Structure 1
């Protein structure tokens, strides 16, 4: 039954979101456009509930994945974020939940015992940052769901290469649930995932990446390269805004994917271009997985690619502003 787990995740995700869209929740929990939005009409933001339910449904058929320090933080983040989607929460309360989830994961996974306090601190900051940046990058149709599909599928393939079927299926279930979500979210989106989807996905991206590293399945650079399309955009934008003195917790439209849409690409073209980037980063990471020396070539190559793309978009944006 374990081999059918991803299929179950995809089906539950598709069907539950379909049900929610026709329910009272779908009509009451909506993303209302404002001056920082990239959409013009209210869109239900309950897709994350279906995505998380799909993930957990598939996990039921995967022995060994129901450990408290993986599932409990995920449920806490989903619950707190759903409340935020419905009624709104202060930034401080949201961040507190993110730190609690990260501490639970690190304490339960044995990372502190295995590597010590300083690695634990770095891991804590990494988990909290990934949790937040995934939310920052969830602002365009098909984008966050696509990163989940490609990113967790790459984790799954890497786990299979390492002969860890449990971790592989755990990640394939997340990817499959994301595929089910994309059925409703690919441009033009009929539903958004909301914080109830993006926040747990960011947590899982870091947690699964750390766990694979702890188990010796991949090097520390592997998760960073797999999720680099999100990490680079979110991190570069944060640095630029910080240097300018802007309030980093304030919503904005300065991410590179947002600017590409504002430059006239549209949601569909941006999503497809990002999918090429995500797939390329993932495949190159898998190719270098058993060739650690190749990361010395691949890492500078990807750094150059991202710098060229960002400089090109910056130049186009300045031309638009000046024209």
Structure 2
């Protein structure tokens, strides 16, 4: 009954946000680097911080006693991202807020006590890099929602069947938010886009869950729950460095962008395939007892080879 109420609340919240966004012209205008061609409401990903607020309402004691560091970090990063959706902010302001939010995330997951101090800077780089990877990959209908749904579903299964690392509701709430968001976004003509508030918000929640799992098991293989995003972003950054491009500027070099913009493949098909391949990796990851280094070799060598082969073929075909 609780989750039915949550879905209803989230539906009402996002519909109300649509009215606000329409009134105040919070929209996404396509440009020459965009994979979409129509003006669309931006910031639909505000549903993710709203989902946490609803979580707090249903779990007041847990929120006050345990989840407040996560909540402060999530709301901070979502607030600065939402402002950035409306008007561009300087990198210094955004990165400062990201830095504080990551501190709160690591405090929430008890990483400062469970990990040696020399690992802390590595964690900061990995988490901020993953947050931005999520943002880079949020470019077509359904991508962020479906990919996050797969990862959250995998985490829910691990929590129920492998090892309990957090309260089940703490996974289900963002999962329900993804479903509601996808109802409006997983369409040929999307009603809304996630915006930075959405990509950063759900990324922060997913990263927090994966970090909790790693702290509980002391097994770093679970970072591979985001391996498709990680491989795509790292290889694209390497490509842009080789081409001497500014890696912080918007571009159309991701594989999904080539399929969407040059090949004209449906956004929904592309998003589904990314989610599907990540789900295959997650099943293998959960069932396997292999060490991290071996999993990396088994997953990234064939996946990287396929990725580079497809990209080379498309670039050759379209003279890019």
- The reply to whether TM is greater than 0.5 is yes
Deviates more, 1:245-254 or 1:72-81: 245-254
Shift of 1:298: 4.3
Secondary structure of the residue aligned to 1:131 is helix
Residues 18-40 of structure 1 show CA distances to partners (whole Å, capped at 9, x for unaligned) of 2322x132351111111111111
> Could you tell me whether the CA contact under 8 Å between 2:52 and 2:71 is conserved in 1?
no
> Could you tell me whether the CA contact under 8 Å between 1:126 and 1:206 is conserved in 2?
no
2:62 corresponds to 1:64: yes
Residues 180-224 of structure 1 show CA distances to partners (whole Å, capped at 9, x for unaligned) of 1000000321100111111122222222211111122x62111x2
| Superposition map of 1:240-259 within 5 A | 240-259=239-258
Distance 2:166 2:112 in 1: 23
2:316 corresponds to 1:322: no
Distance 1:108 1:318 in 2: 44
Q: Which residue of 2 aligns with 1:232?
A: 231
Residues 204-256 of structure 1 show CA distances to partners (whole Å, capped at 9, x for unaligned) of 2222211111122x62111x221112111112111211232211111111111
Distance 2:5 2:157 in 1: 19
Match of 1:16 among 13, 16, 26: 13
Stretches of 4+ aligned residues off by more than 6 angstroms:
none
Secondary structure of the residue aligned to 1:274 is helix
Q: Which 5+ residue runs of structure 1 have no aligned equivalent?
A: none
Distance 1:279 1:15, change over 3 A: farther
> Could you tell me whether the CA contact under 8 Å between 1:69 and 1:108 is conserved in 2?
yes
Alignment TM-score, normalising by the size of structure 2: 0.90
Aligned residues: 314
Shift of 1:137: 0.6
Shift of 1:297: 5.5
Q: Which 5+ residue runs of structure 2 have no aligned equivalent?
A: none
> Could you tell me whether the CA contact under 8 Å between 1:145 and 1:179 is conserved in 2?
yes
Secondary structure of the residue aligned to 1:215 is helix
| Superposition map of 1:158-307 within 5 A | 158-164=158-164, 166-188=166-188, 189-216=190-217, 219-222=219-222, 224-262=223-261, 263-288=263-288, 291-292=289-290, 298-307=295-304
Distance 1:236 1:124 in 2: 20
Shift of 1:160: 1.6
CA RMSD of aligned residues (A): 2.2
2:308 corresponds to 1:308: no
